[in-house]
Amino acid sequence: MKNYIYLTIILLLFSGCKQNLQQPVARVIPDTTHINGVELIDNYAWLKDKTRERPDILKYIEAENNYTSSVMKKTKRLQQNLFKEFKERIIEDDMSVPVKKGSYYYYSRKENNKQYSIYCRKKDSLEADEEIYLDVNEMAKDKKFYSIIDLKVSPDNNLLAYGVDTTGAEDYLLVIKDLETSKYLKDKIPLISDIDWANDNKTLFYSTTDYAGRTNKIYRHIIGTEQKNDKLIFTENDEHFWVWLSKTRNKKYIILGTASKTSTERWFLNTNNPSGEFKLIEPRSENHDYYVLSHENDFYIVTNYKAENNKLMVTSVDHPSKDNWQEVIAGRSDVLLYAEVFQDHLILTEQKNGVEKLKIMNLNSNTEYYVDFEEPIYTFYTWGSSEYDSNILRYTYESLVTPYVIYDYNMDTKERTILKQQQILGNFDKSDYFSERIYAEAEDGSKIPISLVYKKDLFYKNGMNPVYLTAYGAYGDDFDPYFSSLRLSLLDRGIIYSIAHVRGGTEMGEYWYEQGKMLNKKNTFTDFITCAEYLKKEQYADKIIINGGSAGGLLVGAVTNMRPDLFFGVVADVPFVDILNTMLDPSLSAVVSEYQEWGDPNDPVYFDYMRSYSPYDNVTRQDYPHILILAGFYDTRVNYWEPAKWVAKLRANKTNDNQLLLWTNMNAGHSGSSGRYDYLHEISLEYAFILNILSLK
């Protein structure tokens, strides 16, 4: 075993009237690995500590945080002003749209100066007395981090099951509360993920995670019994696959799903027969992805089998295998299809040329139509809480200039009822802003969409505007053009906000995703560079600030190495920058399943390709833009040591005096602070960094 050598941190103080911390210098301790005939030397491998307890590493991170605080001290007033702006735009006493479950209406609300939500319900009528069943502010008052997931009420509305995480590591503990007595049951189960109730109100199904954080097992639990007596229902032994649970809209079946990045498999169980056996719908096969919707005695199947962008099939519950599927809607090469089902309607989302359309099909009359949206660039999402036997579809609509609106939409009469419209306090007027979509052309002829929003009276197409350019480009996830009240603090200072819809997402269909993964991953980076160059060429941009988080952090890390001259500043949130070393450690969260996204570096072909773009491995001696990097100490998706190592190597190699700052949140994980005001403080730090380097106030 290699002995750990404790870090020596140089903390020299400038002499004079002001004393500031000098940049921390991480000691170089070469760690050598031989793989695929290549010698890898990692000078900062010692920063990796899965226990998160080593004093030398804690001291180094503290030094980095102190240095960042020292450098950013001059922006303290600006940060305070930004935080004040953020707060003044939001309604602090706010309430969600109630959702009816049985005889109760469930909703959550927030109160002024309180960090967390308060969960409430009313029986029979919204005019009834309010019952608070969870006040997260009280539950979290002695905690620096507090997160709850998967709140599931039993069918009879008497029991509440949910998961609790108090570090940010996403290690959730299942707890169950009796809503009639307000007491917690003795049933407590660690390391859970998904939860679903059977209809008997005493049987609970849950998933658990393995050593690497992969959900790999499904159990059946009977309320009031010990965990050791829980029956193991399903084990996923293939480390490429994750398992989960969901319930169909008609509440008839619990679906057990297991999926890799390229294949899926579904099983189902009647919720009225919780002691029964899950039945397989269609066995997994390579590159076959499908999901299941329950309708009366049939299953609708959305599948990519012999379809480039999905097609819709139907089959009986009694004969659910692929041999019995019958086509309802054929696949189309230019339209990516998703579906939901109600008793009398099919809800179709059709994505074409980066824009989603909502189509309603009446299953009784066989008529269909599209829902009209008033803007060319927008996003919408439907609510899973809409009742199966209803003709009312609940959905949320928003755009880069339009705050979200929640509608109840009558699918028969086409009437829309506004249930809630996000209010932006102050002098906000959506007509003061303008959004548009433009397209940059890559070298191979691909047209890359760019969504833009800016304040009209501060926009001049003369190449003098600062631009904030962001992207994600991984896992097939789209970057939807959503509204943000926080973003107004940039727009109102003349900054253009832009999204590069680069390959790696599915904005332009499955092909767009396939062209941004595995041995095509570099398309994501060159697309982003092409978008930045196009913004300059077309006189939108002067100084460009780029941002990306997680896999988007990989993107901004890679392009910063490739074209540091193109970007003025970089904000990297929990950035996945040490991809080669991480993917060589299968004990870390999700690594094996990620082989189908990035490739297996134990294979020389993928090793060489990954090594050619890995941000950490490709840091060189050159000038770099201003860089702010944010990490979560308890993050298990992108562990704290990735950004820490990246900063250390950048410091040792950068040849200019631009700012290089690392801030590690010691009380959070991948998603940052859990409290809403703490989160606003994090954003105020990011925005203050951007405005400071741009000399804006």
In this structure, the chain runs to a length of 697
Is beta strand 336-341 parallel, antiparallel or unpaired with respect to 345-352? antiparallel
Catalytic status, residue 135:
no
Phi, psi of 145 (to 5 degrees): -145, 140
- Give me the residues paired with residue 302 across strands: 291, 312
Q: For residues 116 and 101, what is the distance between their CA atoms, to the nearest angstrom?
A: 23
**Helix, strand or coil for residue 439?**
strand
8-state DSSP, 480:
-
Task: Write the secondary structure of 169-213 as one string of H (helix), E (strand) and C (coil).
Answer: CCCEEEEEEECCCCEEEEEEEEEEEEEEECCCCCEEEEEEECCCC
Q: For residues 650 and 626, what is the distance between their CA atoms, to the nearest angstrom?
A: 11
Q: Which of 154, 171, 635, 674 is catalytic?
A: 635
Catalytic status, residue 550:
yes
CA-based nearest residue to 404, from 393, 392, 415, 396: 396
**Strands, E assignment, 638-683:** 660-665
Q: Which of 670, 673, 674, 684 is catalytic?
A: 670
Q: For residues 291 and 554, what is the distance between their CA atoms, to the nearest angstrom?
A: 30
Q: For residues 471 and 525, what is the distance between their CA atoms, to the nearest angstrom?
A: 10
Tokens coding 687: 């925005």
Rounded to 5°, the CA angle 477-479-483 comes to 140
Catalytic status, residue 295:
no
CA-based nearest residue to 529, from 555, 507, 549: 555
Tokens coding 83: 């935080």
Chain centroid offset of residue 441 CA: 28
Q: For residues 234 and 68, what is the distance between their CA atoms, to the nearest angstrom?
A: 48
Question: Is 549 in contact with 474 (CB distance < 8 Å)?
Answer: no
**Residue that has been written with the tokens 């397209």 in this structure:** 439
Please state, in angstroms and as integers, the Cα–Cα distance from residue 363 to each residue in 250, 381, 393, 691, following that order.
Answer: 16, 21, 15, 54
Q: For residues 128 and 485, what is the distance between their CA atoms, to the nearest angstrom?
A: 33
In this structure, which amino acid lies at residue 480? Answer: D
Residues known to be catalytic: 550, 635, 670
